[in-house]
Amino acid sequence: MNPIESVDPAIWDAIQHERKRQQTGLEMIASENYASSAILAAQGSVLTNKYAEGYPGKRYYGGCEAVDDAEKLAIERAMKLFGAEFANVQPHSGASANMAIYFASLQPGDTIVAMSLAHGGHLTHGMHLNFSGKLYKVHHYGVKESDGLIDYDQVAALCKEHKPKMVVAGASAYSRIIDFARFAEICRDNGALLFVDMAHIAGLVAGQQHPSPVPFADFVGSTSHKTLRGPRAGFILAKKEWGPKINQAVFPGLQGGPLMHVVAAKAIAFKEALDPSFAAYAAQTVANARTLAHEFLSAGHTLVSGGTDNHLILVDVNARGLAGRQAERALDAAGITVNRNGIPFDKRPPLDPSGIRVGSPALTTRGMKETEMRQVARWMVEVLAAPEDQAIINRVRGAVAELCMSFPTPHEHA
Ligand code: DSN
């Protein structure tokens, strides 16, 4: 018997419920994935018992020899995987990684230029309710209405006018390649630092399916759990000269003891991503998203930017008379999990926007390829054409469960 089952049956039930949901449904939230059993095991290991404030060789606690080894491996592997000069693997999350980057390089009141959340950016890129929007003066750029692509001319114009200390590139709902060289050029022209938040595309960068921001950026912030398929956590890469300031900003600046079980799990994730098989995974993730895009377009749907170069598509369901929330609910009832999402220039409110964001990373981890993507997209199109039709939803739900049985998740029994 699993110890959780005997100690806390209620939590065991919740875990089993979630395990079943993950196994029998199609996980298409673009920021989610299935970590390997080794990663799950590291997170459930005795390393959770250890305090290790500080850094390898410079801790504020005794008994850190073993966790020092784990953290050194995580750092070395992160640097090797991304060709970075410096890595800090302690941030608990992407948001805290981003916070440490700001704290290491900016003062409250400094000016930043970043992508608007409403156009695909992130909360930590200066959204007014987030610390980043409260501490810094923010000027937001977005995408062009004509083609849905980042308006690099607007970035340049904002930099020329406001002379920001930092430009933030990176997005959580943008389906095209981001031109980091262009961002770097704009930063050079205006004396600004470049911070790239690559959380969404980290696995594609690791698998050489998206140009790397590392050669161009002063700082790269990331999560490890999205396309990179590791534990839920964050990490930072930077130019070597920023290393001491970043380390200080993470600890003691904003965190206490690092989660050493998660740091060890990050080390495993970097090792997995260094394996040649990971590039094939990343390539299939992009190919699968392209197939989804093709099927949605063939069915007459509107996609922001007209397609995808990465792991996600943004579907404007409002163009077909649906609200995002209604689309999310109908698909959920059919066993297909997506999230409603604002689209650029959205006329609907953020809580019930016009779009849905659909991603391929988790299904690709299950081994699904183009054939399955075509089938899945057709089911989605069918449900979206009749979101209140319970008979269609039930039929698709059954077919989804059957498909899932042929593509087990990596932790059926973990
Ligand atoms: N919440 C994440 C996402 O879904 O994209 C970003 O942090």
Residue 27: inside a domain: no
Tally of domains within the chain:
2
Q: Does residue 222 sit in the same domain as residue 368?
A: no
Q: Does residue 368 sit in the same domain as residue 220?
A: no
Q: Which of 19, 24, 32, 53 is catalytic?
A: 53
Mutation test residue for ligand 1: of 29, 31, 201, 340, the one with most atoms within 8 Å of CB? 31
Q: Does residue 99 sit in the same domain as residue 117?
A: yes
Sign (positive/negative) of CA torsion 385, 387, 389, 395?
positive
Share of the chain above pLDDT 70, in %: 99
Residue 203: inside a domain: yes
Q: Report the distance separating Cα 382 and Cα 403, nearest Å.
A: 17
Residue 29: inside a domain: no
CATH number at residue 320: 3.90.1150.10
Q: Is the CB of 31 under 6 A from ligand 1?
A: yes
Question: If you write DSSP's letter for every residue of 164-182 in order, what string do you get?
Answer: -SEEEE--SS--S---HHH
Q: Report the distance separating Cα 218 and Cα 373, nearest Å.
A: 37
| Residue 14 backbone dihedrals phi, psi, to 5 degrees | -65, -40
Q: Does residue 150 sit in the same domain as residue 266?
A: yes
Q: Does residue 189 sit in the same domain as residue 81?
A: yes
Domain hosting 377: range is 276-405
Distance of CA 114 to the CA centre of its chain: 17
Residue 398: partners with Cβ closer than 8 Å, 6 or more residues away: none
Q: Write down which residue in 252, 274, 296 finishes a domain.
A: 274
CA 186–ligand 1 middle distance (angstroms): 27
Give, using CA atoms, the residue closest to atom 2 of ligand 1.
31
Distance of CA 367 to the CA centre of its chain: 20
Whether the predicted pLDDT of 414 surpasses 80: no
Residue 10: inside a domain: no
Whether the predicted pLDDT of 142 surpasses 60: yes
Q: Report the distance separating Cα 246 and Cα 253, nearest Å.
A: 9
Q: Does residue 215 sit in the same domain as residue 314?
A: no
Residue 244: inside a domain: yes
Asked whether the whole model's pTM tops 0.95, one would answer yes
Distance of CA 57 to the CA centre of its chain: 31
Question: If you write DSSP's letter for every residue of 123-188 in order, what string do you get?
Answer: TTTT-TTSHHHHHSEEEEE-B-TTT--B-HHHHHHHHHHH--SEEEE--SS--S---HHHHHHHHH
Each residue's pLDDT tens digit, 171-198:
999 999 999 999 999 999 999 999 999 9
Each residue's pLDDT tens digit, 46-82:
999 999 999 999 999 999 999 999 999 999 999 999 9
The CA-atom distances, in angstroms, between 222 and each of 2, 91, 169, 238, 361 are 33, 9, 12, 11, 16
153 is annotated as an active-site residue: no
Q: Helices H, strands E: what count in the chain?
A: 16, 14
Each residue's pLDDT tens digit, 220-265:
999 999 999 999 999 999 999 999 999 999 999 999 999 999 999 9
Q: Which of 19, 32, 51, 329 is catalytic?
A: 51
CATH number at residue 116: 3.40.640.10
Looking up tokens 């008994």, which residue turns up? 63
Q: Is the CB of 94 under 6 A from ligand 1?
A: yes
Give, using CA atoms, the residue closest to atom 4 of ligand 1.
31
